[in-house]
């Protein structure tokens, strides 16, 4: 049971938990065996979810949660039953899913302000941390989870890159695609925007705080406030959002997760090959980028005028 539960990523388990609880309550209410329902039971449960006025994604998550239990109905996996598929197509037409962002902020002015945070030795540890996190997020189009899993154990430095290990699996890992480390490429054209130079300086500044920490579990990012412990994902997200606000991005509209579509959209605008963008993001289908990440970039100045 523990191994089967471990097949879900932490975020997936968190999403499924509420739906599975409601599924159990539904089955108790209607005297249904939760592991041996009829297709009518499943559709009635999804209909109840629909009646809570939630979107297609939430109802589809409920379907996936039930299907993940290994339930088989009429020889089909619960979520793949023809009637369930037809039901979900109806939901799709009634409440089509919408991406979180229909547009994204422009990376160029953000980079310009990051460039002004130089020389590095003049920055406070707080500002240095914020700059490093922002550069890493932009250059890797990274999720918050990826930044959180970076560790200093086994870090490998070369003249033109730094290889940082990951302590755990990131979201896009799968049997044929497993990311064990993140490679940060040096930017020799401008050291004020070089993620490697910033990372090296950060490691030097935080070296004294790392004494006594377990080396094989030591996270790269530490709190800039005493006692300088490793930080959680929520803290990194708050850092990015604070930095976005300082850099002039509307944080009432854009969250920390907006860095990923902003970086990927900018890469496309700069004619980076789509295969390279997909490889960086860990996607197998170009449609994923087109649907969720290829956004119109909001310009500060109207180029026509």
> CATH homologous superfamily of domain 103-298?
Intergrase catalytic core (1.10.443.10)
> pLDDT digit string (tens) for 231-274?
999 999 999 999 999 988 989 889 999 998 888 888 888 888 87
pLDDT of res. 304 = 41
Distance CA 227, CA 210 (A): 10
- Do the bridges between strand 181-185 and strand 161-165 make them parallel or antiparallel, or are there none, so unpaired? antiparallel
Q: Of 2-6, 43-47, 63-67, 237-241, which range is least confident?
A: 2-6
Distance CA 129, CA 123 (A): 9
The H or E element that residue 29 is part of is helix 10-29
2-94: CATH architecture: Orthogonal Bundle (1.10)
Please, is 39 exposed, middle or buried when counting C-beta atoms within 10 Å of its C-beta (0-12, 13-18, 19+)? middle
Return the H-helix or E-strand segment holding 72. Answer: strand 72-73
Number of Cα atoms under 13 Å in the Cβ half of residue 262: 24
- For the purposes of burial, counting CB atoms within 10 Å of the CB of 262, is it exposed (0-12), middle (13-18) or buried (19 or more)? buried
Backbone angles phi, psi at 184, to 5 degrees: -95, 120
What confidence score (pLDDT) does residue 261 get? 85
Task: Provide the pLDDT for residue 289.
Answer: 58
DSSP class per residue in 93-119: HHS----S-SEEE-HHHHHHHHHTS-S
CA separation for the pair 152, 145 (Å, rounded):
16
| pLDDT for position 305 | 39
296-298 and 181-185 beta bridge pairing: unpaired
- Return the number of other C-beta atoms located less than 10 Å from residue 285's C-beta: 9
Length of the chain, in residues: 305
Q: What is the pLDDT of residues 174-224, one digit of tens each?
A: 665 667 889 999 999 999 999 999 999 999 999 988 876 655 458 899 999
DSSP code of residue 174: B
Domain boundaries, the chain: 2-94, 103-298
How many CB atoms lie under 10 A from the CB of residue 24? 12
Judge whether 115 and 195 are in contact, CB under 8 Å: no
Task: Give the mean model confidence (pLDDT) for residues 276-289.
Answer: 68
Helix (H) or strand (E) holding 89: helix 82-94
Burial 107-140 (b: 16+ CB within 10 A, else e): beebbeebeebbebeebebeebbbbbbbbbbbbb
Range with the lowest mean pLDDT among 45-59, 96-110, 124-138, 186-200? 96-110
Query: pTM for this one?
Result: 0.73
């Amino acid at each position: 049971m523990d191994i089967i539960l471990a097949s879900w990523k932490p975020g997936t388990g968190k999403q499924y938990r509420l739906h599975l609880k409601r599924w159990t309550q539904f089955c108790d209410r209607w005297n249904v065996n939760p592991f041996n329902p009829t297709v009518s039971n499943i559709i009635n449960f999804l209909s109840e979810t629909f009646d809570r006025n939630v979107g297609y994604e939430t109802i589809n998550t409920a379907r996936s949660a039930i299907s993940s239990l290994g339930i088989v109905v009429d020889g089909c996996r619960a979520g793949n039953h023809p009637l369930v598929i037809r039901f979900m197509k109806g939901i799709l037409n009634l409440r089509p899913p919408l991406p979180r962002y229909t547009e994204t902020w422009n990376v160029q002015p953000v980079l310009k302000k990051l460039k002004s945070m130089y020389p590095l030795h003049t920055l406070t540890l707080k500002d240095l941390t914020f700059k490093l996190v922002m550069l890493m997020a932009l250059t890797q189009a990274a999720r918050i989870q990826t930044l959180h899993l970076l560790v200093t154990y086994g870090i490998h430095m070369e003249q033109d890159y730094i290889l940082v290990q990951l302590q755990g699996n990131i979201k896009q890992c799968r049997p044929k695609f497993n990311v064990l480390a993140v490679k940060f490429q040096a930017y020799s054209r401008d050291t004020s925007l070089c993620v490697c130079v910033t990372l090296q300086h950060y490691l030097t500044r935080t070296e004294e705080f790392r004494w006594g920490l377990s080396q094989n579990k030591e996270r790269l990012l530490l709190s800039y406030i005493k006692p300088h412990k490793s930080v959680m994902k929520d803290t990194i997200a708050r850092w990015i959002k604070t930095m976005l606000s300082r850099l002039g991005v509307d944080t009432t509209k854009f969250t920390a997760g907006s860095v990923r579509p902003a970086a990927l959209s900018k890469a496309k605008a700069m004619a980076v090959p789509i295969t390279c963008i997909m490889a960086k993001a860990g996607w197998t289908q170009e449609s994923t980028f087109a649907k969720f990440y290829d956004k119109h970039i909001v310009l500060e100045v109207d180029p026509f005028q």
